[in-house]
């Protein structure tokens, strides 16, 4: 697979509404593999197709598990069908490098989507995984987390000063 260029805030593709995927073909499977490779290379936990310049309703997420194992998910044509509760926490984005801000999101989410084999599934998630799903799903509608930040958008150096050696 390949590492793709991550588009940054200000590039028009990040503000467009993505088109539904009608079928998964070889190009789609290559895109999904490239998205995982790109996300892992950038130390991210999620990546949406418009972040690599592709206006398709696809995103990938891997928040891992409590033991630090990889837990990759593919969401094609996702639809949020339920939200519950509220969590507020810092969010960042590979398309807004070096920045973070406080964003309120649902604590729990239920999503319906298709996987990389176009098999429909429903999934319930909470905490970080719910936050990631909602964040990446917003990308498919041209919404970037900075649109939802409450208060200041911080430079990460303000929030996470490097430890002194």
> What is the DSSP annotation of 12-68?
GGGGSPPBPP----HHHHHHHHHHHHHHHHTT-SEEEGGGGT--BSEEEE----TTS
Indicate whether 7 belongs to any domain. Answer: no
Residue 18 assigned ligand-binding role: no
Indicate whether 104 belongs to any domain. Answer: yes
Query: In this structure, are strands 58-61 and 46-48 parallel, antiparallel, or unpaired?
Result: antiparallel
Indicate whether 164 belongs to any domain. Answer: no
Please state, as a whole number, how many other Cβ atoms lie within 10 Å of the Cβ of residue 151. Answer: 8
pLDDT for residue 165 is more than 70 = no
The per-residue pLDDT for range 117-144, each reduced to its tens digit, is 999 999 999 999 999 999 999 999 999 9
The residue to which tokens 């418009």 are assigned: 50
Residue 139 assigned ligand-binding role: yes
The per-residue pLDDT for range 57-69, each reduced to its tens digit, is 999 999 998 898 9
Indicate whether 4 belongs to any domain. Answer: no
Indicate whether 100 belongs to any domain. Answer: yes
Indicate whether 5 belongs to any domain. Answer: no
Indicate whether 126 belongs to any domain. Answer: yes
The per-residue pLDDT for range 16-33, each reduced to its tens digit, is 999 999 999 999 999 999
pLDDT for residue 164 is more than 60 = no
Print the domain residue range for 145.
12-159
Total domain count, the chain? 1
104: CATH? 3.90.45.10
Q: Are 43 and 75 in contact (CB under 8 A)?
A: no
| pLDDT for the residue numbered 92 | 96
Residue 93 assigned ligand-binding role: yes
Residue 155: C-alpha distances to residues 10, 19, 152, 158 (Å): 17, 33, 10, 6
Indicate whether 63 belongs to any domain. Answer: yes
Active-site residues, by number, are: 136
């Amino acid at each position: 697979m390949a590492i793709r260029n991550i588009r940054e805030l200000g590039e028009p593709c990040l503000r467009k509404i993505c088109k539904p995927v009608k079928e998964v073909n070889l190009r789609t499977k290559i895109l999904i593999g490239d998205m995982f490779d790109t996300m892992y290379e950038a130390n991210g936990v999620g990546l949406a197709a418009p972040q690599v310049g592709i206006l398709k309703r696809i995103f990938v997420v891997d928040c891992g598990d409590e033991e630090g194992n990889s837990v990759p998910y593919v969401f094609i044509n996702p639809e949020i069908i339920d939200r519950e509760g509220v969590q507020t926490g810092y969010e960042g984005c590979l398309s807004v490098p070096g920045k973070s801000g406080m964003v309120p999101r649902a604590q729990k989410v239920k999503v319906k989507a298709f996987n990389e084999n176009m098999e429909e599934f429903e999934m319930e998630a909470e905490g970080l995984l719910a936050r990631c799903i909602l964040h990446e799903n917003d990308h498919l509608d041209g919404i970037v987390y900075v649109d939802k930040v409450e208060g200041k958008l911080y430079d990460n150096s303000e929030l996470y000063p490097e430890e002194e050696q």
